[in-house]
């Protein structure tokens, strides 16, 4: 099962994903893609950590999410927070040419996985087109990733102001 949960900054998407995950049976795994590169980000990470119960197993993975997909199977519940940080990490890594292959391996791994995946991401395509090249590349790559994930996802939810709205639900769900 693949669930994509998107929304703007501070929309409530991470809290929604946690509630969904904690309502499911199975072993809970949290894959964090953020790095505490400054005090403000460290505070954000600490707030997110406090929201999770002790039942979660944490993996920190900033770039190679594709390597994580084979680790999990039924009855694992895997929450990845967040995909847009993952994209930004790749684009800023100095190895951005490796991004298309990493994305393809991740999508293939998700499609083959028997785990329940909850993928949190920021909706970046609802604003103006950014002025600089790297920001435009980030918005474009995030949008392409979201479209590809939406195509294989069983459920896609948009969270706005703490209100989740299911955009897609496959009939076999």
Asked whether the beta carbons of 90 and 62 are under 8 A apart, the reply is: no
Q: What is the pLDDT of residue 52?
A: 85
CA distance linking residue 84 with residue 42, whole number of Å: 17
> Could you list the pLDDT tens digit for every one of the 173 residues in the chain?
999 999 998 899 999 999 999 999 999 999 999 887 788 877 887 887 788 888 899 999 999 999 999 999 999 999 999 999 999 999 999 889 999 999 999 999 999 999 999 999 999 988 788 889 999 999 999 999 999 999 999 999 999 999 999 999 987 76
Q: What is the pLDDT of residue 173?
A: 62
Q: How many domains does the chain have?
A: 1
Verify whether residue 116 is a known catalytic residue.
no
Domain at 60, CATH number: 3.40.50.300
CA distance linking residue 20 with residue 148, whole number of Å: 22
What residue numbers bound the domain in which 104 lies?
2-169
Q: Which of 48, 116, 146, 154 is catalytic?
A: 48
pLDDT digits (tens, 9 = 90+) for 125-144: 887 888 899 999 999 999 99
Compute how many other C-beta atoms are within 10 angstroms of the C-beta atom of residue 49.
Answer: 12
- Helices 99-112 and 83-91: crossing angle in degrees, nearest 10, is 150
């Amino acid at each position: 099962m693949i669930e994509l949960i998107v929304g703007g900054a501070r929309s409530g998407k991470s809290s929604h994903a946690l509630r969904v995950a904690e309502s499911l049976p199975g072993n809970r795994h949290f894959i964090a893609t953020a790095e505490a590169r400054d005090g403000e980000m460290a505070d954000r990470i600490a707030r997110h950590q406090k929201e999770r119960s002790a039942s979660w197993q944490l993996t920190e993975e900033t770039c190679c999410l594709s390597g994580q997909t084979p680790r999990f199977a039924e009855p694992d519940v895997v929450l990845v927070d967040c995909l847009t940080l993952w994209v930004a990490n790749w684009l800023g890594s100095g190895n951005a040419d490796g991004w298309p292959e990493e994305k393809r391996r991740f999508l293939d791994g998700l499609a083959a996985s028997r785990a329940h995946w909850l993928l949190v991401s920021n909706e970046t395509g609802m604003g103006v087109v950014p002025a600089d090249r790297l920001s435009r590349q980030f918005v474009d790559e995030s949008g392409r990733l979201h479209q590809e994930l939406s195509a294989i996802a069983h459920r896609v939810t948009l969270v706005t102001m703490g209100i989740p709205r299911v955009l897609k639900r496959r009939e076999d769900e």
